[in-house]
Amino acid sequence: AQSVSQHNHHVILSEAASLELGCNYSYGGTVNLFWYVQYPGQHLQLLLKYFSGDPLVKGIKGFEAEFIKSKFSFNLRKPSVQWSDTAEYFCAVNDPGTASKLTFGTGTRLQVTL
């Protein structure tokens, strides 16, 4: 069975600091990879996704993620965070053979201070 690990449970950064959130998955086959974000009081929404091709993918709001197959990782990055990035971030993977099923990590709570 697939599993997803997010090692950082709670991250506190000052505005303008750089962000990197770790995500590792266990499945050895072909996977699709996602980062979702949940802002306070809002729905889960898709930040970015990787299916194939260029392992560096760009998403909304200046976020990007790099897929490193040899490390089973899909880390999320942002060069300079803003206070409005305060949210919970979830990494998710999907085995294309399992239809729409997403396996989520436990999430990382990001707090950005002014």
Partner 1 sequence: KAGVTQTPRYLIKTRGQQVTLSCSPISGHRSVSWYQQTPGQGLQFLFEYFSETQRNKGNFPGRFSGRQFSNSRSEMNVSTLELGDSALYLCASSQDSGSYNEQFFGPGTRLTVL
Site for partner 1 contains 9 (CB under 8 A): no
Site for partner 1 contains 12 (CB under 8 A): no
Measuring CA to CA, how many Å separate 23 from each of 83, 94, 96, 107? 22, 14, 19, 10
- Using CB under 8 A as the binding rule, the residues of this chain from 20 to 39 that contact partner 1 are 32, 36
Q: How far is CA 89 from the centre of its chain?
A: 6
Residue from 51, 70, 84, 85 binding partner 1 (CB under 8 A): 51
* 92 class by beta-carbon count within 10 Å (0-12 exposed, 13-18 middle, 19+ buried): buried
How many residues does this entry show for the chain? Answer: 114
- Using CB under 8 A as the binding rule, the residues of this chain from 75 to 114 that contact partner 1 are 90, 92, 94, 96, 98-107
Q: Which residues bind partner 1 (CB under 8 A)?
A: 32, 36, 43-46, 49, 51, 90, 92, 94, 96, 98-107
